[in-house]
Amino acid sequence: MEPQVINTVKKLTIESSKTTRYLGYPRKVPLWRLKISLPKVCKIYRFEENSDISLEIENGLGIAFVPALSSKEAILRLKTLIHDFKLIEDVVRS
């Protein structure tokens, strides 16, 4: 699948399409909030494995909501979706 090129200056919302990862039984996976900065133009690599990640992007800044067992895993999972980002705050459990 080809990556989607986006302009991060414009407002963009990407909703998760597979929420069962963090709502599912028997074990619920924590949801992590990551505040990130992005280049003006970047690529998004959306696959089945990261379709449960949601993003809100505007003016080169973004907030990602990532289901993962730990904050480190949340960062690694977000890197599968967007390769070029920088964390601007600590990862917080939502």
pLDDT the model gives residue 33: 96
Q: Is the pLDDT reported for residue 21 higher than 80?
A: no
Give the whole-number percent of the chain exceeding pLDDT 70.
89
Q: Is the pLDDT reported for residue 34 higher than 60?
A: yes
Phi, psi torsion values for 75, nearest 5 degrees: -65, -45
Q: If residue 16 lies in a helix (H) or strand (E), which one and from where to where? A: none
Boundaries of domain holding 58: 4-93
pLDDT band at 17 (very low <50, low <70, confident <90, very high): confident
Q: How confident is the model over 39-58, as pLDDT tens digits?
A: 999 999 998 888 889 999 99
Domain count of the fold of the chain: 1
Q: Is 43 exposed, middle or buried (0-12, 13-18, 19+ CB in 10 A)?
A: middle
Mean pLDDT computed over 4-18: 89
